[in-house]
Every structure is written in C-alpha cells, then in structure tokens.
Amino acid sequence: MVVPPSRRVPLVSLLLTLGAVVGAWAPFGCTRGGETHAGAAVAATFVGNEACAPCHAKEMARHKGGRHDTTLHLASDTELRGMMPKAGKVPEAGLALQRQGAKVTLLGGDGAEPLPFDLAFGSGKLGLTFVHLLDDATLVESAVSWIPSRRSWYKTPGQEFQGPGVVGFRHSTESSRMCLECHTITVPAGSLKTERRFFGVGCETCHGPGSAHIAAAKAKSKDLAIEDLGKLSPREQNERCGKCHRAFDGIGHGGIEVTMTNRFQAYGLMQSPCFEKSGETISCMTCHDPHSNVDTNRRNYDLVCMNCHSPGAPSAPPEVPSERAKHVCPVKPNAACTTCHMPERPVFPKSNISTDMADHLIWAYGKQSKPKDGKR
C-alpha cells in the first residue's frame, strides 16, 4: 500500500542530507533551466560541476565528495559503496527488503504493491531515504529510511503516522519536484529523471546555470553573465540557503515547526538577536563555507562571535565603553559562546533518530526562558 497525498499529515517529511536535515521547499532566487540568467544575452543552460573546475579549482576541491555533492545517489551498491542495507525483514514495520541482483525492492503487507528503489536521498552521514520514480511527475518516498552507521531502519520523518505494511507515501507533483530540486543542480522540465551529472547540490544550484558565464569568461567579457552572490544582502543570502534549509516562507504558521530553530537554521538565525541587533549583517556564510562540510570545531565559531563580543572587537557597537561592555559575556568572555548560546537540541525528539543540531536562535539560555513559539 502507498499512501496518497490526500492522506498526508501537514508536515512534509524531510529527507536527510549533508549532515543536516533539510526541507524540500520551494526555491528562492535560483534560476532554473530555460530562464534567462541575470546579465546574460541569451538563455543560459546548466553544464554541471566539471565545467566549473578549470577556473574554480580550489572551490571544487573543497566541494567534491562533500555532503552537498553527495546528497543524491542511484539506489545501487555501486553508487552507495557498502551503505546499502541487506535483504531481510524491517523490524516492527511489517516490511521486508528484497534483493534480486542490482534491483532492490521494499515489500509491504498483503495486497501492497512492491516499492522498487530508484534513488537514495542523503549523503549517508545521518541517513538515506529511498524513493521510487512513479512516473515523470511524481515520486514515492519509502516509509522507512536507513542509517548506514548504525545498520538500522527508522521511520522516515513525517511518516510516523504510517501503519505496518505500508511501503511509502506518494508525493504530489509539486512536492516531488521540490524534493529533487534540493538534492540536484537542476531537474528537467516535465520529468523527474535528472541526468547523473546533475546529481547533488552543486555550483549551479546556488549560482545559476553556467553556460553563458563560461562563454563570457572565455571571451574575457566584463559582464561575466552570472549572479554575484557576494553582492546579496545577508538576508538575501540566508533566504538563498533557506530555499532548502528553510527560511520564513517554508515554515508553517502553527504547530511544532515554528519551534525548530535548530532544524531550520536560516529561519532560526533571522530571528536571533545577533541578526536583528546587528542591523541584519549576519548570514549563514558568516560562519559557514558553502563549498565545504560543516566545521565541527566549536572554537572556530566562538572566534566568529569574538568579532563583535569582545572589548577590542572592531565590529562591536557602539564606541561608548559602557555600552560596549554589554556586548561582552560576563560568564565566559573568551570561550564557549556557542556551547551556551547555541546548545544542541534533538532534531526529532520523539523518534529513535539520535541527531542533535545547534539552535540558531542564539538565545541567552538560562537567563530567561525561550517562548514556545520559537520567537523571543
């Protein structure tokens, strides 16, 4: 049995990627195939990461093989290199995995149609969610996902309501495209069958189609025919990341989602005192390099905080000493900024998925409580 879209709970399930759980929501600002890119004389087309490598070797070296780069795979042993689950029963789900050569299929209860696995969403750091391309417009998301490091199954987030024996959920046409657009460089019009060279989040996912840019660079044109992301405001940069990591437009107006300022980082950051009181000068890229995996050394993030929150910080406003002192932590002025003000919280507190993420609301925890709606 496959649950149709009409029976879906309001919270769209999120697919696990790149060491963070990202929501597959409508893109913000990125141009897609067939559109004329800003500054281009003709409609630009997508060319894939390898076409960018000759001029952007350093960025490519950091990106290649990282979580963004490997967030979509063919559901095969060749692609997943030992991360694929073995055949057998899926505990407590009324399901079983069948392996016949290269073909992998999820079997359900009596009368349920088998679910062949076509694609695997996720880099494998946290988990893999398998999908079947039902046709050119819709996909079916498996009711269970796989954690390679633990060699165990768990309910796919958002499908906790599924009963035993149900193999998955059929997404709507819109939702199916949203899922793929957050795990690829581009998705062709009228189809979900993306070329292999466009798998994963790549250069053009954020920068837009690159053919006109390459032509302009070869011609040594002053107009490089591609958007300069460095000229975006911090808010615009956050919203660009939030097209998949969720910003305000991707969050429901009620329910538990509004409290998830750890799971939806751009949404949390843009509510934070740091963002608001700095005059909106902080973006995701203040701390993170989008070409690299997330840095796990908290001290490096503390040093970013020190740019504003230390007595001699050049960015610390204002110049009046008594006011400047308010920006310096009275407890640990030179360390543990993120440990105290960005504590890690469970992403799925009511599940068996043991994944914690830093709260991006950047709140004075312990001094006063945070309201239940996630806002101050």
Kindly report, residue by residue over 161-196, the tens digit of the pLDDT.
889 999 999 999 999 999 999 999 999 999 999 999
**Residue 111: predicted pLDDT:** 82
Task: Encode pLDDT of 82-99 as tens digits.
Answer: 999 999 999 999 999 999
Model confidence pLDDT, tens digit, residues 206-245:
999 999 999 999 999 999 999 899 899 999 999 999 999 9
- Give the closest residue to 95 by CA, choosing from 156, 159, 152, 144: 144
Strands 168-170 and 2-3: parallel
CA atoms within 13 A on the CB side of 231: 4
Q: What is the pLDDT of residue 251?
A: 86
Kindly state the tokens that stand for 101. Answer: 């050569």
- Residue-averaged pLDDT of the chain: 84
Can you give the pTM of this predicted structure?
0.83
* 376 pLDDT more than 50: no
pLDDT band of residue 253 (cuts 50, 70, 90) is low
Q: Which of 195-204, 327-336, 339-348, 353-362 has the highest mean pLDDT?
A: 195-204
Tell me what pLDDT residue 254 has: 65
What residue spans define the domains of the chain? 2-198, 234-358
Distant-in-sequence, close-in-space partners of 146: CB < 8 Å, separation ≥ 6:
83, 85, 127, 128, 129, 130, 152, 153
Res. 368 pLDDT band, cuts 50 70 90: very low
